[in-house]
């Protein structure tokens, strides 16, 4: 996954139902070397449009 990819949520969150589309804006690496996750900032589409951070496991790439 990289900036510019179109993604779909694989888990529902408050205000963002399962399958909501978004555009990946940036990648944020963890603050410590011991953490093994990456946060992705995604510009969400739809009624509650705006930026939101997601874990990789909560997103699937649609195109990109």
Decide: 8 and 62 in contact? Cβ < 8 Å: yes
Task: Tell me what pLDDT residue 64 has.
Answer: 66
Backbone angles phi, psi at 39, to 5 degrees: -95, 140
Both structure tokens of 33: 């070397």
Per-residue model confidence as pLDDT tens digits over 37-58: 889 999 999 888 899 999 999 9
Per-residue model confidence as pLDDT tens digits over 1-35: 999 999 999 999 988 999 999 999 999 988 777 77
**CA–CA distance, 20 with 62 (Å, rounded to integer):** 11
Tell me how crowded residue 47 is: count the other CB atoms within 10 A of its CB.
9
Angle CA(15)–CA(39)–CA(31) in degrees, nearest 5? 135
């Amino acid at each position: 996954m990289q900036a510019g990819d179109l993604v779909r949520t694989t888990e529902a969150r408050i205000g963002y139902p399962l399958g909501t589309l978004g555009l990946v804006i940036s990648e944020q690496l963890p603050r410590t070397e011991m953490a093994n996750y990456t946060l992705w900032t995604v510009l969400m589409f739809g009624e509650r449009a705006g930026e939101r951070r997601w874990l990789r496991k909560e997103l699937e790439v649609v195109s990109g």
